[in-house]
Amino acid sequence: MFGYITPDKPELKIKEYQLFKGYYCGLCKSISKHYGQIPRFALSYDCVFLGLFLSSLLSKDIDVYTTGCITKPFRKLAVLKDDPILEYAACANVIFAYYKVRDDFRDDKDFKAIPAIPLLYPAYLKAKKKAPDLEAYTRFYLAELGTLEAGGCNSVDEASQPFARLLAKAVSPKVFFNEAKTRATLEKLGYNTGKWLYTIDALDDIASDRKNKNYNPIIEQYYNGSDSIESFKEQVKEDIGFVLRHSLKKIWEAYESLDIKCNRAILDNIIYGGIYKKTHEILDKEIVI
């Protein structure tokens, strides 16, 4: 995953931020419990949000315990107890991480990914067995995305579709949600979150993708080859900003119609604050060559 879905930390109360950290540490512990130590290094904020979001829809009870951590040996941390929801988020984290490092090497020739592939493979096989539907969706939609990217797709909207459809499936697992209306709302939220993530990542990577000659849908659709990359970003800022803000609007519409049972303040902070702030941070980010 990309790591763009984070809270607007200064706007959270201390107790709210501590609870968010409890989910972060809880997911880390769940990955360790089910898949060993190595996959913990691939822990993603996006999957922390997935666990927090699903937990907030499915349960009013928050079960926390205190424990130590090797990274903070002199402190006790509040950690969410492992449950089926965190275990699902851990599955997603492992599956997404495995496909990311595999595709990083295949698509971008990132040789740093080579040692990570065999290290993550045993955990990936376990996650595939536990969540076969999620693994199948991931494999199918990422293969579709790979085909579009290999063909030099010159439409941001078209290139973002496979990842958007993957996220639509990931946030509405049938094991937790049976009611058709709720699933449709979750799929709308997931679809637009996936579209936002893919587009914001492409915008953030414009300079490095141009330098390394990697595929980037924004470059393919808009770049004429003569402008500097700095002036190019300014030229596409309005169009890409519209796409990103439209996705945010659709995310907010879906979110507002859901029955949130707990953690409302944290989710509001992330959905209305964190990802909105991240959007404008990347839009306004100065390109450094």
pLDDT of 107 strictly over 90: no
Tokens describing residue 73: 């040996």
85-109 exposure pattern, b = at least 16 Cβ within 10 A, e = fewer: bbbbbbbbbbbbbbbbbbbbbeebe
pLDDT tens-place string over residues 247-279: 999 999 999 999 999 999 999 999 999 999 999
Residue type, position 288, single letter: V
Domains of the chain: 9-283 (1.10.600.10)
The C-alpha angle 86, 89, 94, rounded to 5 degrees, equals: 125
177: left (phi over 0), alpha (psi -120 to 50) or beta: beta
For the entire predicted model, the pTM comes to 0.93
The predicted structure's pLDDT at residue 73:
67
Q: Answer for the pair 53, 171: CB distance below 8 angstroms, yes or no.
A: yes
Q: What's the pLDDT score for residue 10?
A: 95
Q: Express each pLDDT in 132-180 by its tens digit.
A: 999 999 999 999 999 999 999 999 999 999 999 999 999 999 999 999 9
The per-residue pLDDT for 114 is 72
pLDDT at 64: 84
4, pLDDT greater than 90: yes
Q: What is the pLDDT of residues 6-35, one digit of tens each?
A: 999 999 999 999 999 999 999 999 999 999
